[in-house]
Amino acid sequence: MIDRESAAEQALRGDVRAPSKGPGVPRPRESGPLPHRVRHRFPIFERLVYVNSCSQGALSDSVRQAYADYLRDWDERGSPWEYWVEQTERARRAFAELVGADPDEVGVTTSLSEGVSAVATGLRFAGRRSKVVMSDYEFPTVGQIWHAQAARGARVVLVPPSEDGTIPYEHWEQAIDDETLIVSLTHVSYRTGTMLDVERITQLAHERGALVLLDAYQTAGSVPIDVRALRVDLLAAGALKYLLGSAGLAFLYCRRELVERFWPTATGWFADREIFEMNHRRYAPATTGARFQSGTPPIPAIYAGVAGIELVQEIGVAATREHVQALNSRLIEGLDELRAKVVTPRRPKRRGALICVASFDAPALVAALRREGIVTSSRNGNVRISAHCYNAEEDVDAVLAALGRNRRLLRRA
């Protein structure tokens, strides 16, 4: 399947062109405040007020161009597998850099579920340490994967939030004990916007001998992440939201010293120690983060994901965080004026990019906003409004004005 000719040779001959940023694609202005230096690269803003990055990031010119590059390379070369494998390594490096990891600690997967399944099936739940402690805010896929391990001896314990939407530290103290094998956390809840105190919970988990897995899907690209500072053992995220890529690409980080403690039974040939040995007579998983991979890498999504992550890095995650925090303060102020019930905690440290507002009929409110050209989404009775680097104050004001016109659908504070 793999063309043995090296990508370097192909590139030297001009058979595979370097991934272009596209003819005429404007580069971000070197300086200047957000969103103005980047907004023009996302054509959707010519038509819509887009505040739904918690679901899918907006399409940029460079990600559109990346898809064109993929089709061109496929069309012109047929099967440049060496080059495509190199693009997979480029995606691995880009994500590793984003979260402060080493590339060999990162697996490239097709979804967050795939990486977490490899982790979960890689654990043994025999003996006393068989408890999985997870927040009540986990995304369904994570909860379902842990519950599926009940058939293998796992005991799943949920840690509930309190009235104000945060999960108090005492709740973790009660749940994590010396029978806990792993603690599963979501960085920011997809349905309330609550940001967990990952450092503190991780320290507790480690003191009690448990591993920590962090689902960073809602923070990768919107909040600076450093796996060494957070001290988590495992971290999973995907490319399609704040990383500005598309569906089909995700990553699984595992702290180097731990990789070989996992023996994933959800696996595939791209997790093998020697992929191109093509050996079907044994299972010998990689000693690196590739151990959490599965089958053929999602090449089109990798082109898009690399373009997305590189754009996110150019724009700057810290600058994005600061910009979005300011937009969200404006949004919360306006919601207070409307007397709307803000579900997301108010302390900036306890929220990510996502702000959730309670509604009597969230799907109807999302539809009403959509009729006014505003794209949001809903989960669990809440409307989700999530700004990113490209959103402007005028977007927040448009959302607030539309919510004002539909205030009968808003729950009161």
Contact footprint for ligand PLP (CB under 6 A): 111-113, 139, 141, 186, 190, 215, 217-218, 238, 250
DSSP state, 31?
S
Which of residues 28 and 298 has its CB atom nearest to ligand PLP in the complex?
A: 298
Ramachandran quadrant class, 100 (left: phi over 0; alpha: psi -120 to 50; beta: rest): left
Q: How far is Cα 69 from Cα 326, in angstroms, rounded to an integer?
A: 36
HSE toward the beta carbon, residue 349, CA cutoff 13 A:
3
Residues with Cβ within 8 Å of 127's Cβ and at least 6 positions away in sequence, in order, are none
C-alpha torsion 272→273→277→283, nearest 10: -60
Which of residues 218 and 246 has its CB atom nearest to ligand PLP in the complex?
A: 218
Which of residues 77 and 350 has its CB atom nearest to ligand PLP in the complex?
A: 350
Which of residues 7 and 112 has its CB atom nearest to ligand PLP in the complex?
A: 112
DSSP state, 243?
T
Q: In angstroms, what is the minimal distance from the CB of 375 to ligand PLP?
A: 16
DSSP state, 60?
P
Q: How far is Cα 151 from Cα 138, in angstroms, rounded to an integer?
A: 20
* Alpha-helical segments (H) within 161-210: 169-175, 198-207
Which of residues 185 and 400 has its CB atom nearest to ligand PLP in the complex?
A: 185
Q: In angstroms, what is the minimal distance from the CB of 366 to ligand PLP?
A: 17
Q: How far is Cα 318 from Cα 39, in angstroms, rounded to an integer?
A: 17
Which of residues 52 and 113 has its CB atom nearest to ligand PLP in the complex?
A: 113
